[in-house]
Amino acid sequence: MSIGSRAVEGSQRGPKADERFERHLIILMGARLALASASFVIALALDAIGGNLTIQEWDGFYATVALAFVATLIYWPFVGRIQRPGLFAAVNIATDIGLVSALVLFSGARESVFTFLYMVVAIYAATLFRRYGAIAAAALAGGAYGVVLLAGQNGWVATAGEPADALVLMTTWIVHAGALVLVAALAAFLVAELERTGSALDERTSALEELRTLHARTVESLMSGLLTTNPEGRVTSFNQEAERISGISRAEAVGLDFERILPGVRALVDAAEEDDQRSRARIPYRNRQGKDLHLGVGTYVLRDAEQAPSGHVVIFQDVSEVVQMERELRRSERLAAIGELSASIAHEIRNPLAAISGAIQVLRDYVGGTTEESKPLMEIVEREVDRLNHLITDFLQFARPERAHPERVEISKVVSDVLEMFESARPANIRVELEIEDSLAARADSEQLRQVLWNLILNGAQAMPEGGILRIAARRSVEASTQGSDSGNRMGRDEKASWVEIAVMDQGSGISPDVMDRVFDPFFTTRPNGSGLGLATVHRIVESHGGTVRLDSGVGGWSTLVCVRLPCMEAA
Which residue has better confidence, 263 or 515? 263
Among 269, 297, 318, the domain-final residue is 318
Residues 6+ apart with CB under 8 A from 497: 478, 479, 480, 481
Give the H/E segment covering residue 554.
Answer: strand 548-555
Q: Is residue 306 part of a domain?
A: yes
pLDDT at 484: 40
Tens of pLDDT, residues 269-310: 777 666 656 678 888 888 888 888 889 888 888 887 777 888
* pLDDT band per the 50, 70, 90 thresholds, residue 558: confident
Give the pLDDT mean for 371-391.
73
378/355 Cα distance (integer angstroms) = 14
pLDDT at 474: 92
497 beta partners: 479
Q: Is residue 488 part of a domain?
A: yes
Whether the per-residue pLDDT at 4 is higher than 50: the answer is no
Whether the per-residue pLDDT at 5 is higher than 60: the answer is no
Helix boundaries (H) for 12-76: 15-48, 55-75
Tens of pLDDT, residues 208-226: 888 888 777 777 777 888 8
* Average pLDDT over the chain, rounded to an integer: 76
Task: Provide, rounded to the nearest whole percent, the portion of the chain with pLDDT above 90.
Answer: 6
Whether the per-residue pLDDT at 502 is higher than 90: the answer is yes
Q: What is residue 94's three-state secondary structure?
A: helix
Do 309 and 328 fall within a single domain?
no
Give the pLDDT mean for 474-498.
58
Do 64 and 194 fall within a single domain?
yes
Do 366 and 510 fall within a single domain?
no
pLDDT at 87: 76
Q: Is residue 210 part of a domain?
A: no
Q: Is residue 384 part of a domain?
A: yes
Do 437 and 560 fall within a single domain?
yes
- What does the radius of gyration of the chain's CA atoms come to, in whole angstroms? 48
pLDDT at 78: 67
Among 399, 418, 453, the domain-final residue is 399
What's at 132, amino acid-wise? Y
Q: Is residue 207 part of a domain?
A: no
* pLDDT band per the 50, 70, 90 thresholds, residue 53: low
Whether the per-residue pLDDT at 487 is higher than 60: the answer is no
In a 10 Å sphere around its CB, with 0-12 CB exposed, 13-18 middle and 19+ buried, how is residue 502 labelled? Answer: buried
For 477, phi then psi, to 5°, come to -125, 135
pLDDT at 369: 54
Contacts of range 105-108, beta carbons closer than 8 Å, 24 or more positions apart? 105/60, 105/148, 105/151, 105/152, 105/157, 106/53, 106/57, 106/58, 106/60, 106/61, 106/64, 106/157, 107/43, 107/53, 107/57, 107/61, 108/53, 108/57, 108/152, 108/159, 108/160, 108/161
User: What are the percentages of helix, strand and coil residues in the chain, rounded to 5?
Assistant: 60, 20, 25
What's at 143, amino acid-wise? G
Assess contact for 402 and 446: CB atoms under 8 A.
Answer: no
Whether the per-residue pLDDT at 383 is higher than 80: the answer is no
Q: Is residue 197 part of a domain?
A: yes
pLDDT at 1: 33
Which residue has better confidence, 403 or 563? 563
Segments forming the whole domain that contains residue 337: 323-399
Do 166 and 233 fall within a single domain?
no
Of 102, 5, 16, the C-alpha closest to 59 is: 102
Count of domains forming the chain: 4
How many helices (DSSP H) and strands (DSSP E) are in the chain? 15, 12
pLDDT at 67: 72
Whether the per-residue pLDDT at 155 is higher than 80: the answer is no
Tens of pLDDT, residues 172-204: 788 877 878 888 888 888 878 887 887 888 888
The full length of the chain comes to 572
* DSSP codes, 398-454: HHSPPPP--EEEEHHHHHHHHHHHHHTT--TTEEEEEEE-TT-EEEE-HHHHHHHHH
Task: Provide, rounded to the nearest whole percent, the portion of the chain with pLDDT above 70.
Answer: 74
Assess contact for 435 and 521: CB atoms under 8 A.
Answer: no
CB atoms within 10 A of CB 100: 28
Give the pLDDT mean for 443-462.
89
Highest mean pLDDT: which range of 61-65, 105-109, 231-235: 231-235
Do 487 and 413 fall within a single domain?
yes
What's at 37, amino acid-wise? S
Among 348, 364, 399, the domain-final residue is 399
277/275 Cα distance (integer angstroms) = 5
Whether the per-residue pLDDT at 529 is higher than 90: the answer is no
175/284 Cα distance (integer angstroms) = 85
Of 453, 464, 472, 473, the C-alpha closest to 430 is: 464
329/168 Cα distance (integer angstroms) = 107
Q: Is residue 171 part of a domain?
A: yes
344/352 Cα distance (integer angstroms) = 14
Do 411 and 395 fall within a single domain?
no
Residues 6+ apart with CB under 8 A from 496: 478, 479, 480, 481
Whether the per-residue pLDDT at 485 is higher than 60: the answer is no
Q: Is residue 178 part of a domain?
A: yes
Do 95 and 188 fall within a single domain?
yes
Q: What is residue 376's three-state secondary structure?
A: helix
CB atoms within 10 A of CB 17: 13
pLDDT at 489: 43
Whether the per-residue pLDDT at 544 is higher than 60: the answer is yes
CATH number at residue 484: 3.30.565.10
